[in-house]
Amino acid sequence: MAEPSRTEQRKAEHVNIILEENVSAEYNFWNDVRLVHEALPEIDLDDIDTSVKLLGRRLEAPLVISSMTGGFGMGREINENLARGAAEVGVAMGVGSQRAALEKPELEDTYAVVKDHAVPLRFANLGAPQLVPQGAKRAYGPADAKRAMDMVGAHALIVHLNFLQEVVQPEGDRRARGVLSAVKALAARFPVMAKETGAGISRRTALALKKAGVKAIDVGGLGGTSFSAVEYYRARKEASTMKERLGATFWNWGIPTPASVVLSDVGLPIVATGGVRTGLDVAKGIALGATASGMARPLLEAAKASPEAVAAELRGVVEELKAAMFLTGASSIEELRERHAVVARPTADWLELADEG
């Protein structure tokens, strides 16, 4: 194979940094959310049904393995292990940004491997900044989106919004004007889920995305993996003082994930991603209004080990979710969505914004 491209190198660096360094936001906002215990659940644990429909596809549990990788050697193995785990447990899965393979078709296989497994809902992935021209780089349009979707046999396309990462990344894209109408053009042809990557979605953005025709929103909020932190470490390695400074300053920038779930409630299915570490966190997201939750980093660690480790981690999360459902007397995901969640500060402070248009 030819020399690794800049995009390929970046993919490998992201995975290595995320596995080796502490790149979490300083505070996990799921700590601020509590569910109300029911001492008399009046349901049987074994009757609990965790299945859910997302974008017309039935999942055994309300879980999405968040978009992570592909586009470099180890990416293939990681995607294969994730897809095997997802198929076994019956949950959704996304691949990482497919730009690397659109630029260099010999990398397609590192993403396409997920097609070999019966994952009930597969997401393709493109970055919003690539939907408008950046310097000499042309904009991706519907033909590229179709290629990306066909590559992984996708049921839907994720367009990720990552302007925080771009602004702290040494080689980051600088243009955001025109992205919304580009998303609208894609949403007219494909089922699109808009997804943040760690800084959350405000009510204003959620309403704009709904108007643009997206079919679901993954809030990708603050509290888990921080891409500012990841880029901070990359900038340090490259001795890029200014970007290192930006990465450190914006390490904890964004809307807390649980708050973003509430703010994004504009009548579309919501995926709660960002700092979800247990099935109890999944239950909290659903009680706040989400349809499913997304997890990235814990599953990356498992996928580095084996497909069995991915399935075991997913099963652990499902058992925790079931326990939370039992203890709140919810026998289905719909019932769990009606359960009350108590939200403490600092997350509670953000909920006041829900009243603003």
Ligand X SMILES: Cc1cc2nc3c(=O)[nH]c(=O)nc-3n(C[C@H](O)[C@H](O)[C@H](O)COP(=O)(O)O)c2cc1C
Interface ranges with ligand X (CB under 6 A): 14-15, 18, 66-69, 96-97, 125, 158, 160, 195, 197-198, 220, 224-225, 273-276, 295-297, 300
Instruction: Output the residue with the shortest Cβ distance to ligand X.
Output: 224
Give DSSP secondary structure letters for 20-59: HS--B-S--GGGGEEEPP-S---S-GGG-B--EEETTEEE
CA angle 259, 264, 265 (to 5 degrees): 105
Q: What are phi and psi of 227, to 5 degrees?
A: -70, -20
Q: Which is nearer to ligand X, 90 or 285 (CB)?
A: 285
Minimum separation from the CB atom of position 99 to ligand X (A)? 8
Under a CB-based contact definition with an 8 Å cutoff, are residues 239 and 233 in contact? no
CB atoms closer than 10 angstroms to residue 6:
10
Largest CA distance in the chain: 64
CB of 250 to ligand X, least distance (A): 15
Query: CB-wise, 157 or 296, nearer to ligand X?
Result: 296
Q: Which of 228, 273 has the CB closer to ligand X?
A: 273
Closer of 30 and 326 to ligand X (Cβ): 30
Q: 265: exposed, middle or buried (C-beta count within 10 Å: 0-12, 13-18, 19+)?
A: middle
Nearer to ligand X, 130 or 331 (CB): 130
Q: How far is the CB of 37 from ligand X (least distance, A)?
A: 26
For residue 34, what are the β-bridge partners? 342
Residues 6+ apart with CB under 8 A from 301: 19
Q: Which of 90, 112, 48, 40 is nearest to 333 (CA)?
A: 48
Q: How far is the CB of 114 from ligand X (least distance, A)?
A: 14
User: Shortest distance, CB of residue 40 to ligand X, whole angstroms?
Assistant: 34
CB of 161 to ligand X, least distance (A): 8
The beta strand positions in 47-132, using DSSP E, are 52-54, 57-59, 63-65, 92-94, 122-127
Nearer to ligand X, 111 or 326 (CB): 111
